[in-house]
Structure 1
Amino acid sequence: MLSIASPLLAIPAITSRFGASGWAAVAIGQSIGASLAVIVELGWGLTGPQRVARQDRPSRQKTLAVSLATKSIVLVPLMVVAAVSSFFLSQDFRYESAAVAVGAAAYGMNSTWYFIGTGSSTKLLLSDAVPRLLCVAASAILIFAGSPLLIYPAVGVVLPIVVSITIVLYVEHINCQHLHGMTAPRLVKVIAAQSTALGGRALSAIYMSLPVTLVSLVAPSAVPVFSAIERLQRIYLQILAAAPNVMQKWVGQSQGSRRRYRRAAKSVTYNALIGLFAGVAFTLVAPIMSSVIFASSIRIPAEYAAISGILIFVVCTSRASGSIALVALGRIKVIMISAAAGAAVGVPGILVGTYLLNVPGALIGEVVAEIVVLLIQLIELRKHRNNPQ
């Protein structure tokens, strides 16, 4: 709930002071930065939670230290890519968009996966949600008071991840000793070992984090409305991520392949039911939410909200079938295959959909991509049920 409060505090401030063009610049920066943050994450969010759930504390500390070290290797060059891409794709507020992209890319350094795997909800709250809430609130207040838009990326995007990393290092007592024996070549080998999980995450980012960027290439005028509904549904999905996050440790700690499969299968069912309810709720409330959150400068029609509601249901289900069930069964490669199929369908689907139908066409392209991903994952799970190994 604190995670949803953070962006909701900033959006009204941005749209009321800088209008749809200011929001569009921020949205493009967030889109590009979030997609690159997936690469910075190096797949730790996919394989890490169930790994640390089975480890003792010293092993967990070393895993966390190695993850932060490997992420830092790829962070700097990707921040440059984020800044340059956002600068040239934005029509207005280019420097602000670039700064947002840099901060969003750096968010890949977060350690939420670690606290999910260890079941440390209080540490997750204090190291991630609270700093973001306070920093975004501060940036919103400053913008309302007359500060320039650049204050949002500086205080609301970059500062929280810096504070978060500092808190994580302190509460988990991480220091250089935990990297003993991890030379540069060995760290590179770790990055290579994460390549399958990274590939799945990176391919997913193409159709999950880049839609706003893709829409800006075809129909720049559609960016304000599309990015508004895209942002609302992603905030909504951020809250719903609590359900599969809780189940990560539950599934990861199960003993025996049969028991692990039963728990994984139950997690898919539970998340599908949650997604169905949430999708219907979003369809009903999104049009009202948009007029309040975006200070009446952007409105979301009910039919657009309905398409997003379908997307929310599919994403909730695929989060469990992929990140929980397939990971528990060791089918990481299938996740990458499904993500590749989703990207192959999603990118042209969003581009063509935007060209033909504008905003609803882009949303339909996202839905089709997610359905393809889900079907591939469910087929693999059905194979395992029929032929358990």
Structure 2
Amino acid sequence: MRALSGLNRLIGFGLSMAALAAAALVAIPWMVRASGPEAFGMIVLGQNFGAIGAMVVAYGWGIAGPAEIARGTTESRLAEFLASVKVRVFLLGPVAVLTAAAAMLLATGRVDLAAVGAVVAVLPGLTSNWVFIGLGRPFVLMLTETLPRVAFTVVGIVAMETGSDALIGLIWQGVGLLVAFVASSWWVLRAFDYRHVGLAALPPLRTLLRDYRHGVASNVGSSLFVALPLVLVTVVAPAAQPVFALVDKLERQALVALVPVVSVLQGWVPRAADPASRARKVVIGASIGSVLIALVAGLWGQWPLHVLGDGQLTPSADVVALMGVVLGLSFYVIALAHTVLATYREMRALAMSTFIGTVVMIPLVVVGAYYLGAAGALAGIAGGLLVRMSIKLVVTSRCLQGPPPVNDMVLPSEEIV
């Protein structure tokens, strides 16, 4: 029965993530067709800045939140969710403005697409999917978040098909994200029996920002690691930017499609009294999975890239192979971070590994992109991922040899229950 339950969760989360990835990928050719390859490059540039902003808004709950929800009481879960709402709503406006401004400064074409792309990409920071991951409720996630997002993406595609600019497609995606936030929040508040505890009863905003700082440092660091390469390629090798932007987009959506595996493990590992045994299985299983992912993406990634580029952007074989390597390494790094290090509350070590990996990656991407274009940039990303993976494996080994995480940690928001 446990295996069947785990399979059901995997299927449920898989359907959600696959639907989101498919909707985003299907929209790409329409955006390219509606406004051109260069304009699409500006959209992706804005989305990269927005992705960083989304991690700031999410403030680390996507990594640490599922474990706390999985082992928490109804009261502590409610407090955790309300604390997240208080922080995320406060951060949304300023972060959206800053990311849009940054995208506009670097945009070399359609400034409006870069700005709106950034703002829309910030909105996923409002997601409550970490609550559903911790609860193991994938089908509720599908109803409250996935369906609104997919539905409004389809509305945007229809608008572009009938002659609208890619800007309209982006706006409809943003509407879907806002509807999803409202719907999922309504469900969570009802499920956790929200009545008398309000946002005003939570600790001060300054306290919440301080207490959750390590989570956001890791989140923002990871987002910077993902977003910076496109910015660097735009600056040092603008001719390679459209192809790199397409590869970057497919790689991100492929990772979204792989998230369900990590989502199931995020709730499975911390539920054990001593999670070390389960964590070891994750370390071994994820390593095998990452190799398979790299092989599949590297050998068969050419066709989807050609289709998504609407025949106007077709990466070379070496670029596709390196994309596979980056995708496999990215999956392994995420699996270690979200299932093992988050369970053992090693958020500071997680943030440090990301920082060091980013520092190593930046010069590698700059030099690689300047001399080798998209292929060189991908090789630089792979180098940074290897550094991150090595540090995480060292920390993981230390965690597995030590005592299990103490389950009596008092959350900052639990003083109100």
TM over 0.5: yes
Hey, what does 2:21 align to over in structure 1?
Answer: 4
Q: Does 1:252 align with 2:282?
A: no
Q: Does 1:162 align with 2:181?
A: no
Distance (whole Å) between structure 2 residues aligned to residue 4 and residue 180 of structure 1? 33
Q: 1:92 to 1:248 in 2, by over 3 A?
A: same
Distance (whole Å) between structure 1 residues aligned to residue 251 and residue 129 of structure 2? 20
Hey, what does 1:228 align to over in structure 2?
Answer: 246
RMSD in angstroms over aligned alpha carbons? 1.7
Hey, what does 2:197 align to over in structure 1?
Answer: 178
Deviation of 1:387 (Å): 5.0
Hey, what does 1:111 align to over in structure 2?
Answer: 128
TM-score norm. by structure 1 comes to 0.94
Distance (whole Å) between structure 2 residues aligned to residue 127 and residue 188 of structure 1? 30
Q: Is the 8 A contact 1:286 1:300 kept in 2?
A: no
Which of the numbers 348, 353, 358 marks the counterpart of 1:333?
348
SS in 1 for 2:301: helix
SS in 2 for 1:102: helix
Distance (whole Å) between structure 2 residues aligned to residue 201 and residue 377 of structure 1? 15
SS in 2 for 1:150: helix
SS in 2 for 1:377: helix
Q: Does 1:316 align with 2:331?
A: yes
Q: Is the 8 A contact 2:302 2:320 kept in 1?
A: yes
Hey, what does 1:239 align to over in structure 2?
Answer: 257
Distance (whole Å) between structure 2 residues aligned to residue 78 and residue 330 of structure 1? 27
Deviation readout 1:94-127 (Å, 9 max, x if unpaired): 1122011011112111111111111110111122
Code of the residue aligned with 2:240 in structure 1: it is A
Distance (whole Å) between structure 2 residues aligned to residue 366 and residue 136 of structure 1? 30
Q: Does 1:282 align with 2:278?
A: no
Matches within 5 A, 1:10-21: 10-21=27-38
Between 1:206-215 and 1:378-387, the stretch displaced more is: 378-387
Distance (whole Å) between structure 1 residues aligned to residue 151 and residue 344 of structure 2? 39
Distance (whole Å) between structure 1 residues aligned to residue 201 and residue 385 of structure 2? 38
Q: After TM superposition, where is structure 1 displaced by more than 6 Å over at least 4 residues in a row? A: none
Hey, what does 1:121 align to over in structure 2?
Answer: 138
Distance (whole Å) between structure 1 residues aligned to residue 188 and residue 400 of structure 2? 39
Distance (whole Å) between structure 1 residues aligned to residue 71 and residue 182 of structure 2? 25
Deviation readout 1:346-370 (Å, 9 max, x if unpaired): 2222122211211111101111111
Q: 1:270 to 1:154 in 2, by over 3 A?
A: same
Q: Is the 8 A contact 2:34 2:165 kept in 1?
A: no
Deviation of 1:186 (Å): 1.7
Q: Is the 8 A contact 1:7 1:136 kept in 2?
A: yes
Q: 1:127 to 1:249 in 2, by over 3 A?
A: same
Which of the numbers 280, 285, 302 marks the counterpart of 2:317?
302
Q: Is the 8 A contact 2:135 2:267 kept in 1?
A: yes
Q: 1:177 to 1:66 in 2, by over 3 A?
A: farther
Deviation readout 1:64-103 (Å, 9 max, x if unpaired): 1210111111111111111111122122221122011011
Deviation readout 1:158-211 (Å, 9 max, x if unpaired): 11211111101221236684335535x622211111111111111122211232
Distance (whole Å) between structure 2 residues aligned to residue 71 and residue 181 of structure 1? 15
How many aligned residue pairs are there? 384
Deviation of 1:239 (Å): 0.8
Q: 1:177 to 1:99 in 2, by over 3 A?
A: farther
Distance (whole Å) between structure 2 residues aligned to residue 386 and residue 251 of structure 1? 16
Distance (whole Å) between structure 1 residues aligned to residue 267 and residue 356 of structure 2? 28
Distance (whole Å) between structure 1 residues aligned to residue 239 and residue 125 of structure 2? 30
Q: Is the 8 A contact 1:206 1:347 kept in 2?
A: no
Matches within 5 A, 1:71-150: 71-150=88-167
Hey, what does 2:399 align to over in structure 1?
Answer: 384
Deviation of 1:236 (Å): 0.7
Deviation of 1:272 (Å): 1.9
Q: Is the 8 A contact 1:261 1:328 kept in 2?
A: no
Distance (whole Å) between structure 2 residues aligned to residue 194 and residue 264 of structure 1? 24
SS in 2 for 1:298: coil
Of all paired residues, the percent bearing the same amino acid is 25
Q: Is the 8 A contact 2:57 2:125 kept in 1?
A: yes
Deviation readout 1:202-249 (Å, 9 max, x if unpaired): 112221123212211212221110010111111111111111110111
Distance (whole Å) between structure 2 residues aligned to residue 96 and residue 268 of structure 1? 41
Unmatched tracts of structure 1, length 5 or more: none
Between 1:379-388 and 1:366-375, the stretch displaced more is: 379-388
Deviation readout 1:238-275 (Å, 9 max, x if unpaired): 111111110111112111xxx31111121122222222
Unmatched tracts of structure 2, length 5 or more: 1-17, 405-417
SS in 2 for 1:299: coil
Q: Is the 8 A contact 2:156 2:168 kept in 1?
A: yes
Code of the residue aligned with 1:242 in structure 2: it is P
Code of the residue aligned with 2:365 in structure 1: it is I
Q: Is the 8 A contact 1:9 1:137 kept in 2?
A: no
Distance (whole Å) between structure 1 residues aligned to residue 196 and residue 177 of structure 2? 23
Q: 1:176 to 1:13 in 2, by over 3 A?
A: farther
Deviation of 1:149 (Å): 2.0
Q: 1:172 to 1:385 in 2, by over 3 A?
A: closer
Hey, what does 2:62 align to over in structure 1?
Answer: 45
